[in-house]
Amino acid sequence: MQLNSILTPERTFCKLPGVSKKRFLTTISEHIAAFTPSLTPDAIYTALLAREQLGSTGIGNGIAIPHCRVGTCDRITGALVTLDQGIDFDAVDSQQVDLLFVLIVPAEETDEHLRVLSELAHLFHNDSYCHKLRAQTSNEALFDTAIALSDQT
């Protein structure tokens, strides 16, 4: 997977305010929809919340990969976010989450959804990668670092 095929600078957010899980899902749904004409904030939020109700996407070490399939989504879409402070995301290790990758996939792309999700989980289990992402202080630097480092792994 080429990270730059699903992530754009417009969907990369450095140091967003960390408030709560639901507030984060609302905010990121609005941000993603603003740059993705086939998606609405409500469709994204509803699908992400439904997925979280099945079980948390907090994978540990302060990382979460919220993901869902949306019928109106026309291509795999990602958003990378760091938060200014950790939030309770019901993670498997009970740690607060401050690094997130949101993945929205067309409803019919089940196999591709699982493949990309697996690759993202592998990438975000790299402590050095995550440390470097957390150290960034601007959207542009976060995007550039994420792409450059993902090409090296």
Q: Degrees (nearest 5) of the Cα angle 3, 76, 82?
A: 55
Asked if pLDDT for residue 101 goes beyond 90, the answer is: yes
Give Cα 30 distance to the centre of its chain.
13
Six-digit token string for 2: 């080429």
3-state helix, strand, coil in the chain (%, to 5): 45, 25, 30
Confidence at 151, pLDDT banded by 50, 70, 90 = confident
List, by residue number, the catalytic residues: 67
Confidence at 150, pLDDT banded by 50, 70, 90 = confident
> Closest Cα partner for 65 from 102, 99, 30?
102
pLDDT one-digit tens code per residue, 28-62: 999 999 999 999 999 999 999 999 999 999 999 99
pTM of this structure: 0.95
**Domains observed in the chain:** 9-152 (3.40.930.10)
